[in-house]
């Protein structure tokens, strides 16, 4: 992926990794469009980053995605980078007598169905460009699951597998397929405590390393991996899978 001169759409671009990545790419001389559910946050982000464009959309709503994709294709026919970053997380307790799956269904809809639907809708635009990129934010939990959050972990494993297959399908087109797999990062994805959790990677440190990887084209088999996530990526090969799984099981209180 070239680092400047792109027209980029970042979903989930109003907070956390999505916002800071959008801002970093905006600073590199790209036209950046951010999408998110809350108009107030979109106004805040675009107000602090002149030239950035914000569009409100609920990516858990299939009809809204169709309308949004049609609008993007009309307004930004030069779109050549789609960063599917929007996602939600949660925990489920399968030891309970009554298991509430509301959050699980929402997580699947946003993290899987919404990503697949939006990608399918915008791939024709990407394929029409001389050089383009489809990127999806997954997680180190795609490689070793977090037991308190089994559905979230599984959605990221799904996306990892989907991207591997898509990369092969699109290898003769102009579309580069990339997976951005963060480690545990100081964002609000898992709740307000995560922002200051010393076990998590500082957000600015993470974004700086990601941008360096993109600038240096240090992408490994289509995967953007900072050093802190690599032990998870290779855990099974290194014989550390169970060790990480047991450690993750004790992290939630």
Tokens for 222?
């289509």
Q: What is the C-alpha to C-alpha distance for residues 76 and 90, in angstroms, rounded to an integer?
A: 34
DSSP 10-69: EETTTSHHHHHHHHHHHHTT-EEEEEES-HHHHHHHHHHSTT-EEEE--TT-HHHHHHHH
Question: Would you call 78 exposed, middle or buried from its count of C-beta atoms within 10 A (0-12, 13-18, 19+)?
Answer: exposed
Q: How many CB atoms lie within 10 A of CB 13?
A: 30
Is residue 152 among the annotated active site residues?
Answer: yes
Name the DSSP class of 99. -
* Cα 117 → chain centroid: 15
| CA-only gyration radius of the chain, Å | 18
Whether residue 114 contacts residue 105, with contact meaning beta carbons closer than 8 Å, is answered with no
Burial 210-240 (b: 16+ CB within 10 A, else e): bbebbeeeebeeebbbbebbbbbbebeeeee
Whether residue 82 contacts residue 122, with contact meaning beta carbons closer than 8 Å, is answered with yes
75: phi > 0 → left, psi -120 to 50 → alpha, else beta; which?
Answer: alpha
Q: Which position among 94, 146, 152, 206 bears the catalytic label?
A: 152
- Give me the active site residues, please: 152
């Amino acid at each position: 992926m070239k680092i400047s001169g792109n027209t980029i759409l970042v979903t989930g671009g109003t907070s956390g990794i999505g916002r800071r990545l959008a801002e970093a790419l905006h600073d590199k001389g790209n036209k950046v469009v951010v999408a998110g559910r809350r108009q107030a946050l979109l106004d805040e982000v675009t107000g602090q980053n002149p030239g950035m464009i914000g569009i409100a959309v609920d990516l858990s709503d299939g009809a809204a995605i169709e309308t949004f994709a049609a609008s993007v294709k009309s307004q930004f026919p030069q779109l050549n980078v789609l960063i599917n970053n929007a996602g939600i997380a949660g925990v489920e307790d399968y030891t309970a007598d009554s298991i509430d799956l509301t959050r699980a269904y929402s997580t699947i809809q946003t993290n899987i169905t919404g990503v697949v639907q939006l990608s399918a809708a915008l791939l024709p635009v990407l394929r029409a460009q001389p050089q383009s990129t489809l990127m999806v934010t997954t997680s180190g939990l795609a490689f070793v699951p977090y037991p308190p959050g089994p559905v979230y972990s599984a959605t990221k494993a799904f996306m990892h597998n989907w991207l591997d297959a898509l990369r092969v399908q699109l290898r003769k087109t102009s579309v580069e397929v990339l997976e951005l797999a963060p480690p545990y990062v100081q964002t609000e994805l898992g709740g307000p405590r995560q922002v200051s959790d010393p076990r998590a990677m500082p957000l600015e440190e993470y974004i700086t390393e990601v941008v360096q990887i993109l600038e240096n084209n240090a992408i490994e088999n289509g995967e953007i991996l900072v050093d802190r996530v690599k032990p998870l990526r290779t855990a099974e090969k290194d014989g550390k899978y169970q060790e990480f799984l047991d450690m993750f099981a004790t992290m939630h209180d």
